[in-house]
């Protein structure tokens, strides 16, 4: 179903209420397709070699100061972000768990399936395609309303509580994370800037068409 871009279109349900909200097979399919596409987007952006997403820059910067692997740092950052959900009253769910467990393997698999671009023009195609696919993937799996991933939950939680648009909140988060990553020594590129400035507006556009409206009684909503 189509809906407007207001954050109120996203319900904030507990884990069990999310599963009972109806249209579960369709929502599970959207969740899995969205996470697969997110992994595909990651692979496109990484193979473009024109600059990673702001979160990648942040993780790389943090790795310069901690005796931990990049993957371990990503897990720790995700846990810290989940703590930020508490004051936002953002509810986790199956989608949150799926994001944590599946996004990495989906990214690895797509890296194996994709060919490495050999020309600058094709690298730019990978970059632009990665940003667009990331926006579609985000709208799909967040719009399934089974609980967003840690970073996207921060985005939707702030948007709902503060009354801002998804576009504005996501862009602000990406820019703040990018600045912190550069300050820590992470390496950014032109692709990082394109991602930070482009993914918010494009996600906002696709949220209009890919978020499912759920028929949930007011009593079971969490406020």
Q: Is 2 left (phi over 0), alpha (psi -120 to 50) or beta?
A: beta
pLDDT of residue 157: 85
Query: Mean pLDDT for each 10-residue chunk of the chain (223 residues)?
Result: 45 69 86 92 86 83 81 77 86 82 80 91 95 93 84 83 78 89 88 87 88 63 45
Maximum Cα–Cα distance for the chain, whole Å? 56
* CA–CA dist 10, 13 (Å, integer): 9
Taking only the tens place, the pLDDT of each residue in 64-85 is 898 877 667 777 888 888 888 8
Question: Cα dihedral sign for 196, 180, 42, 14?
Answer: negative
pTM, 2 dp = 0.76
8 Å CB contact between 194 and 126: no
The helix (run of H) or strand (run of E) holding residue 52 is: none
* CA–CA dist 56, 65 (Å, integer): 15
pLDDT of residue 32: 94
* CA–CA dist 198, 187 (Å, integer): 19
Number of neighbouring beta carbons within 10 Å of residue 159? 24
The helix (run of H) or strand (run of E) holding residue 124 is: helix 120-143
């Amino acid at each position: 179903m189509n809906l407007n871009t207001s954050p109120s279109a996203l319900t904030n349900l507990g884990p069990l209420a999310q599963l009972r909200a109806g249209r579960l097979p369709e929502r599970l399919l959207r969740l899995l397709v969205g996470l697969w596409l997110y992994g595909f987007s990651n692979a496109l952006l990484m193979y473009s070699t024109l600059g990673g997403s702001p979160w990648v820059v942040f993780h790389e910067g943090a790795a310069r100061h901690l005796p931990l692997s990049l993957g371990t740092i990503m897990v720790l950052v995700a846990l810290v972000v989940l703590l930020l959900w508490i004051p936002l009253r953002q509810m986790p769910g199956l989608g949150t768990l799926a994001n944590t467990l599946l996004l990495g393997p989906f990214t690895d698999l797509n890296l194996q399936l994709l060919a490495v671009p050999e020309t600058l023009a094709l690298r730019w195609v990978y970059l632009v395609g990665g940003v667009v696919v990331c926006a579609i993937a985000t709208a799909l799996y967040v719009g399934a309303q089974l609980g967003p991933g840690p970073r996207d939950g921060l985005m939707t939680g702030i948007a709902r509580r503060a009354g801002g648009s998804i576009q504005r909140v996501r862009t602000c988060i990406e820019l703040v994370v990018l600045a912190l990553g550069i300050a820590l020594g992470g390496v950014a590129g032109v692709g990082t800037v394109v991602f930070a400035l482009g993914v918010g507006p494009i996600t906002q556009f696709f949220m209009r068409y890919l978020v499912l409206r759920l028929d949930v009684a007011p009593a079971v909503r969490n406020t």
